[in-house]
Amino acid sequence: MKMYIGGEWVDRSENGEVVNPYDNSVIDTVPSASIEDLDSAIASAVRGAKAMADMSAYDRFLMLRKTADILQERTEEFARILSMEEGKIIGEGRVEVGRAVQTISLSGEEAKRLYGETLPMDAAPGWTGQLGFTLRVPCGVVAAISPFNFPLNLVAHKVGPALAAGNAVIIKPASDTPLSAIKLTEALLEAGAPAEAVQCVTGSGSRLGDPLVSDPRVRKVTFTGSRDVGERICRTAGLTKVTMELGSNSPLIVMPDADIDKVVAGTISSGFANAGQVCISAQRIIASRDIYGDYLDALTQGVERIQTGDQLDESVTMGPMVRAEDASRVNEWIQEAVSSGARALIGGEYSGAMHAPTVLADVQPDMRVSREELFGPAVAVTPFSDIDEAIEMANQSNYGLSAGIFTQNVDWAMRFAREVDSGNLHINSGPGFRADLMPYGGLKESGMGKEGPRYAIQEMTETKTVVFHP
């Protein structure tokens, strides 16, 4: 596929292969943008931002609604592309397209709700008749840098609000999974986005990232990805607004009164969806000693039923990881835990990009598989004695994106909500739940700022204060 720069689809002799991680077959290639290409994209986006500022909110709404309709009509085509490039099972691909339809539709609705407010100027001492109000205005050019794991919906979470707010947007998709973002760009243009309002620049983030985020013409950077890249972007972006949606090692607390069947279902859906490559995957399972053995038995039986294989095969319930190196890294961390005393109850092996779904028991909180972000199909289970210890363990992390608890006890649930440091808190669910309309973002090193169209739009606009003097 080609990239989209300066109102044209362009190709380059230097390009990168997009590979299906299941069988290593090459699906397509995309151009590797040069620094000059990036510069042209930014210059074009500046013109695109003017075109967007001239477009009424109602027309922005119509354009995004039409984009959502196009995505919906082409669900199967989009689902196959993102399943092939990322490795997620085709069913999860269809769910992701459905979510992107929601994200773009919600963004279109929010285009109609960019309110300012009147200011009570007469409440200031010495008022002499001033009339004040605020205007919400777009930032201008937004750089949207996205990760591999939700190659369509996480791009939609940036592009939808950026355009709804009247900005131009430069998409830099992940190099492993750029095809969905290119197809989304096509849909936006077909739906009537001004030709220079969207740019889709493909190529290596480590090469293009610094010049993109440090360019003074870019007024807002919205990034989803790993903690370390996020920190680098913050340092490089300087005096530019940033939103950071970073990683996590989300905890799930299982209290002694929990319904074990529901907990097992919640652990599997939160721990193994997309082969564990979800920023809010359940990674650290903190389980009461009272039910520890029963829970581990039931969880092992549940995980045994996960069918791994070709992600396009409808009977498969977990596909490969995005890269063979990632499966090898996950396995190394698992073996390290086992050699330090953890027990692998099931799984623990890998081949190519396919890592077996794994349950590790008796994990110590300081083992790497618990301490850092694993981002793979394994859960690390650690026992606790009481709610104080469970909350303390849940908070033993630099991250704070999502957390879950299973309990019927309201007091425990309230303590969890008040005392666990996390941007999202789920009672009687795994941490992997997300509805696209929610305010969504992390505490601590999981980032700053919120996504969810209504909230992202706040981050992608600025407030101007206007005062009329008598």
- Site map 231..270 versus ligand NAP, x via CB under 6 A: -xx-----------xxxx----------------------
How far, in Å, CA of 188 to CA of 191, rounded? 5
Contact status: 215 vs ligand NAP (CB under 6 A): no
SS3 for 67? helix
Annotated catalytic residues are 245, 279
**Among residues 464, 461, 460, which one has the least CA distance to residue 133?**
464
Task: Output the CA–CA distances (angstroms, integers) from residue 343 to 70, 268, 348, 367, 461, in the order listed.
Answer: 48, 18, 10, 13, 50
Contact status: 375 vs ligand NAP (CB under 6 A): yes
Task: Pick the piece of the chain touching ligand NAP (CB under 6 A) from 122-130, 145-153, 262-270, 307-315.
Answer: 145-153
Among 152, 229, 327, 359, indicate the residue that binds ligand NAP (CB under 6 A).
229
Contacts of 243 (CB under 8 A, 6+ apart): 220, 221, 222, 223, 441, 447, 448, 449, 450, 451, 456, 459
Q: What are the structure tokens assigned to 223, written together?
A: 């990034």
Strands 284-288 and 251-254 turn out to be parallel
How far, in Å, CA of 466 to CA of 444, rounded? 35
Name the residue nearer to ligand NAP (CB basis): 83 or 175.
Answer: 175
- Site map 44..83 versus ligand NAP, x via CB under 6 A: ----------------------------------------
Do you know the residue count of the chain?
A: 470
Task: Pick the piece of the chain touching ligand NAP (CB under 6 A) from 140-148, 251-259, 261-269, 327-335.
Answer: 140-148
Contact status: 96 vs ligand NAP (CB under 6 A): no
Contact status: 34 vs ligand NAP (CB under 6 A): no
Name the residue nearer to ligand NAP (CB basis): 147 or 431.
Answer: 147
| Closest CB 12 distance from ligand NAP, rounded Å | 15
As a whole number of Å, the end-to-end CA separation of the chain is 59
Q: Which of residues 272-301 bind ligand NAP (CB under 6 A)?
A: 279
Contact 169, 162 (CB under 8 A): yes
Q: Which of residues 400-419 bind ligand NAP (CB under 6 A)?
A: 401
| Closest CB 173 distance from ligand NAP, rounded Å | 6
| Closest CB 144 distance from ligand NAP, rounded Å | 10
| Closest CB 49 distance from ligand NAP, rounded Å | 21
Name the residue nearer to ligand NAP (CB basis): 275 or 345.
Answer: 275
SS3 for 140? coil
Contacts of 283 (CB under 8 A, 6+ apart): 248, 249, 250, 251, 271, 276, 370, 373, 374, 379, 380
* Other Cβ atoms closer than 10 A to 328: 14
Contact status: 147 vs ligand NAP (CB under 6 A): yes
| Closest CB 406 distance from ligand NAP, rounded Å | 23
- Side-chain half-sphere CA neighbours of 40 within 13 A: 15
Closest residue to ligand NAP: CB criterion: 209
Contacts of 325 (CB under 8 A, 6+ apart): none
Contact status: 432 vs ligand NAP (CB under 6 A): no
Contact status: 145 vs ligand NAP (CB under 6 A): yes
Among 31, 160, 209, 276, indicate the residue that binds ligand NAP (CB under 6 A).
209
| Closest CB 154 distance from ligand NAP, rounded Å | 6
How far, in Å, CA of 388 to CA of 215, rounded? 48
SS3 for 108? helix
Task: Pick the piece of the chain touching ligand NAP (CB under 6 A) from 111-119, 133-141, 168-176, 344-352.
Answer: 168-176
Contact status: 174 vs ligand NAP (CB under 6 A): yes
Name the residue nearer to ligand NAP (CB basis): 244 or 253.
Answer: 244
Q: Which of residues 303-342 bind ligand NAP (CB under 6 A)?
A: none
Name the residue nearer to ligand NAP (CB basis): 311 or 407.
Answer: 311
Strands 424-427 and 284-288 turn out to be unpaired
Q: How far is CA 179 from the centre of its chain?
A: 17
Interacting residues toward ligand NAP by CB under 6 A: 145-149, 154, 172, 174-175, 204-206, 209, 224-226, 229, 232-233, 245-248, 279, 373, 375, 401, 442, 447
